[in-house]
Structure 1
Amino acid sequence: MQWKAGIGTIFILLPCLTVFWGFYGFAVHPLLFDQLIAFFRVISYEPEMSPLLWMGWLLLFPLSLGCCVLLWLWFDIMGVRTCFFTYARGRIRFNRVTRKVYLLRPRGCGGNAVFDWDRLRAIVDMDGYDLLARKNGAPGKAAYYSLILYHPPFDAADPHANGEDAIFVGPTLPTQQDAAPLWEYIRRYMEYGPGRECIPERIGQEHTTYCGKPSSSQYKLEQRPGVMETAYHMLSQVTCSWPAFPKEWQSDSGMGEPEDKPVQTGAVMTALVYRAQGKLSKADEIEFLRHWGTAEAAQEATSRRE
Structure 2
Amino acid sequence: MLDRGAYPDAVTPWERETWRASALAWVENGLAAHGLRGTGGLRVRLRPWSVLVRVPVEGRSAVWFKASPPAAAFEGPLTAALARWVPEDVLKPLAVDVGRGWTLLPDGGELFRDLLAREPVDPRVWESLLGRYARMQRDLVPHAREIERLGVPSARARDLAEVFGRLLDGASALAPDERARLDALRPRVAEWSAELAALGIGDTLDHADLHDGQLFCPAPGRFTFFDWGDATVSHPFCSLRIPAERAVDRYGPGVLPRLVDAYLEPWTGSGRTAAELRHAVGTAWRLSALGRAASWGRMFPDPSGVAPGAGQSAQWLLELLNDPPRTG
TM range (shorter): under 0.3
Larger RCO, structure (CA 8 Å, separation 6 or more): 2
TM score, norm. by length of structure 1: 0.26
Larger radius of gyration: 1
